[in-house]
Amino acid sequence: MFNAFRTTVLLAALTALFMVVGYFIGGTSGMVIAFLFALATNLFGYWNSDKMVLRMQNAVPVERSRVPELYDMVDILSRKAGLPTPAVYLIQSDQPNAFATGRNPQNAAVAVSTGLLRHLETREVAAVVAHELAHIRNRDTLTMTITATFAGAISALAQFGLFFGGGDRRDNPLGGIGALLMVFLAPMAAMLVQMAVSRTREYEADRIGAEISSDPLALASALHKIATLAGREVNVAAERNPAMAHMYIVNPLSGQRMDNLFSTHPDTGNRIEALRALAASMHVDDKGRRPQPRPAPTSTGRDIGGGWRVPTVGRTDEDGGQRGPWG
């Protein structure tokens, strides 16, 4: 209920921003046109923005036969999270990263980059997937996807101001100056909305994702690796569509080391510290194990190809410590 209210407030704010941009571009008539455009964007965003985002990020659907280990991982973690298994997409990018999208848990998708599978260990990949499933369970994906659509549309609308010259000065007192201001201020306002949406939700998705995977330190390790490698590998699709950056688990843009005030994501170091504190409260070590009073039956796991193994959930080590589902 609260997420639905928050999404409604966000859409109202973005619609109002649309109308303000329209006013400074074309006066009262421009504001009306912008309002109609915002309504159309709302409808389009609800039904189609997830498909648009996946296409813009060059994410392609993959069959289970291609990456069975990833499919099994998503399926097992989805059941742990109490969710339908989402569609699985691959992003052809050397930069390790991932995002989730979809208007609801029944129409969701998880997209991971080929770089994520290449650079991260199995436990770390599972922790990242669990983080994205947390976004789906929290219904963040609709809000984040529509926000990305709106941000791109607002920026495009502001650019039109250069061509229309600010409309009739009698209707728009600032004339061309107002249109020029919108070219610079509207994208910044849209970016501030994105930051407000993304920052708080990332901490919550970290916490819930760590609980789903039962391995908070694996997520902490994954975040450290992704943040380090993201600065070295360029995500071409994300650079072309920066309005989508807040959807990724870590900022994919090469300019991510700008001042934290203008970052779409919370500081990675702060996220890692929060996960370490969570691991301590869960009594989980750096291998995803937690002590148990009585040892449980052991399992060697099953090989599912690609050098990955899916161990039985809750297997024990020789020392009697119980591992998480991906330990």
C-alpha 217/C-alpha 228 separation (Å) is 17
Specify whether the CB–CB gap between 98 and 110 falls below 8 A: yes
pLDDT of residue 312: 38
Q: What is the four-CA torsion angle of 123, 124, 128, 133, rounded to 10 degrees?
A: 10
Please give the pLDDT value at position 90: 96
| Mean pLDDT of each 10-residue bin along the chain, 327 residues long | 65 76 74 78 76 91 91 96 96 95 93 96 97 94 75 68 53 58 64 64 94 96 95 88 84 63 77 96 82 58 45 44 47
Catalytic pick among 132, 204, 211, 273: 132
pLDDT score, position 281: 94
Three-class secondary structure of residue 233 per DSSP: coil
How far apart CA 33 and CA 261 sit, in angstroms, is: 33
Enumerate residues 6+ apart whose C-beta is below 8 A from 231: 254, 256, 257
Query: Is 132 marked active-site?
Result: yes
| Residue among 15, 24, 18, 16 nearest 164 (CA) | 24
Phi/psi at 165 (nearest 5 deg)?
Answer: 70, 20
Confidence (pLDDT) at 256: 52
The full set of domain ranges for the chain reads: 2-282
